[in-house]
């Protein structure tokens, strides 16, 4: 095919993997520090005897946990903002290199804080329900509630058993500590379909999604500044691909709604394209390439069919 693009999807994904790997290091540090702080708060509260009653638990440890989750949310917000800026900066360069020689480069604004803020406002996962259908703020609130419920139930269970068995105050304290620490931290992430994500898998997905969203938004923003409106959806499929990926791969879309011929990219996203961990990416389409869309789509279909048959035979 005569597509002009220098950054094909494979190269896009390789660059994104490198960027996401760097972003993940900082995210792991944030999560580990938060986990350690929360466990430390719980252990110290048990040692002080601050969780002997429901009232004491609410007045002391529950407030401390709330503060720690607020802090975690703030740390994640800072991480997301810096991650989006670094990724957007890298993919702005990729977009400029990908566009044809002779594009109106003089119209491109410099990569500024204002530009970075625009990108971040579009992809901020704290409020946007794009991560497994539930916003990050909702997840953090759910995590806090589950932690508190476990604490309350543990304390109630131990005191009930103590009343029946005559457990000593020292034994009560050690038993509460043992049970609480064995279940800490109870970090589960449940998406809108009811699926439970392990902590490591969820934060890995969070990292990849923020990185991919920033890369895509930066690429489209840069190309739009140069006057390009149409993009082709590039990527690869597997037997487990999302229906939206199957439907939209190889299709031309418009970055703006209301195009007389091509659908709006936002409609594709609403159907599930660019979902968490999605490997698809947009590439600028030139006017002269539009006539090749059917041939390109046919080529993709043949390649996908061959790949699926090969995978099925291997299994």
pLDDT at 243: 92
Q: Please determine, for residue 154, whether its predicted confidence score (pLDDT) is greater than 90.
A: no
Name the nearest CA neighbour of 61 among 48, 75, 76.
48
Q: Please determine, for residue 106, whether its predicted confidence score (pLDDT) is greater than 50.
A: no
Name the nearest CA neighbour of 211 among 39, 24, 69, 53.
24
Name the nearest CA neighbour of 293 among 250, 233, 256.
250
- Domain match, 220 and 288 both: no
- Domain match, 71 and 167 both: yes
Domain final residue, candidates 169, 196, 227: 227
pLDDT at 265: 93
- Domain match, 161 and 121 both: yes
Domain final residue, candidates 227, 259, 287: 227
Q: Which domain holds residue 207?
A: 9-227
CA gap 15, 155 in Å, rounded: 50
- Domain match, 234 and 107 both: no
- Domain match, 76 and 154 both: yes
Q: What is the pTM of this model?
A: 0.68
- Domain match, 165 and 24 both: yes
Least-confidence region, from 187-191, 261-265, 290-294: 290-294
- Domain match, 114 and 163 both: yes
pLDDT at 204: 80
pLDDT at 239: 83
In the chain, how many domains are there? 2
pLDDT at 1: 33
Name the nearest CA neighbour of 7 among 95, 74, 77.
95
- Condensed to tens digits (0 to 9), the pLDDT of residues 82-93 reads 888 888 888 888
- Domain match, 110 and 56 both: yes
What contacts 6, CB < 8 A, 6 or more positions away? Answer: 97, 98
- Domain match, 282 and 175 both: no
Least-confidence region, from 5-14, 42-51, 149-158, 212-221: 5-14
- Domain match, 127 and 200 both: yes
Q: Please determine, for residue 264, whether its predicted confidence score (pLDDT) is greater than 90.
A: yes
- Domain match, 301 and 311 both: yes
Domain final residue, candidates 199, 227, 255: 227
- Domain match, 96 and 17 both: yes
Q: Please determine, for residue 189, whether its predicted confidence score (pLDDT) is greater than 50.
A: yes
**Local confidence band at 244 (pLDDT 50, 70, 90 cut-offs):** very high
Q: Is 1 a domain residue?
A: no
Q: Which of 46-50, 201-205, 217-221 ranks highest by mean pLDDT?
A: 217-221
As a whole-number percent, the residues of the chain with pLDDT over 90 amount to: 4
pLDDT at 3: 43
Longest dimension (CA), the chain: 85
Q: Please determine, for residue 251, whether its predicted confidence score (pLDDT) is greater than 60.
A: yes
Greater confidence (115 vs 234) lies with 234
pLDDT at 112: 59
């Amino acid at each position: 095919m005569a597509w002009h693009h220098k950054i094909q999807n494979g190269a896009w994904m390789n660059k994104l993997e490198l960027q996401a790997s760097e972003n993940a290091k900082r995210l792991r540090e944030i999560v580990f520090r938060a986990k350690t702080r929360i466990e430390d708060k719980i252990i110290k509260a048990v040692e002080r005897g601050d969780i002997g009653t429901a009232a004491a638990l609410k007045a002391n440890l529950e407030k401390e946990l709330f503060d720690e989750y607020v802090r975690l949310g703030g740390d994640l917000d800072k991480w997301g903002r810096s991650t989006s800026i670094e990724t957007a900066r890298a993919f702005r360069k990729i977009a400029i290199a990908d566009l044809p020689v002779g594009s109106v480069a003089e119209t491109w604004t410099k990569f500024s804080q204002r530009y970075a803020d625009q990108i971040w406002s579009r992809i901020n996962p704290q409020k946007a329900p794009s991560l497994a259908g539930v916003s990050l703020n909702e997840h953090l609130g759910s995590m806090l509630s589950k932690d508190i419920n476990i604490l309350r139930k543990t304390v109630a269970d131990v005191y009930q058993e103590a009343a029946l068995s005559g457990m000593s105050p020292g034994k009560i304290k050690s038993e509460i500590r043992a049970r609480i620490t064995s279940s800490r931290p109870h970090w589960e992430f449940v998406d809108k379909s009811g699926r439970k994500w392990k902590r490591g898998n969820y934060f890995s997905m969070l990292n990849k999604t923020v990185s991919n969203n920033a890369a895509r938004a930066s690429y489209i923003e840069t190309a739009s500044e140069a006057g390009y409106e149409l993009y082709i959806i590039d990527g690869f499929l597997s037997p487990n691909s999302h229906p939206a990926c199957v439907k939209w791969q190889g299709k031309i879309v418009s970055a703006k709604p209301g195009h007389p011929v091509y659908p709006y990219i936002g409609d594709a996203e609403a159907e599930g394209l660019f979902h968490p961990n999605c490997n698809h990416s947009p590439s600028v389409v030139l006017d002269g390439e539009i006539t090749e869309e059917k041939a390109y789509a046919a080529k993709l279909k043949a390649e996908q069919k061959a790949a699926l048959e090969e995978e099925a035979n291997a299994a």
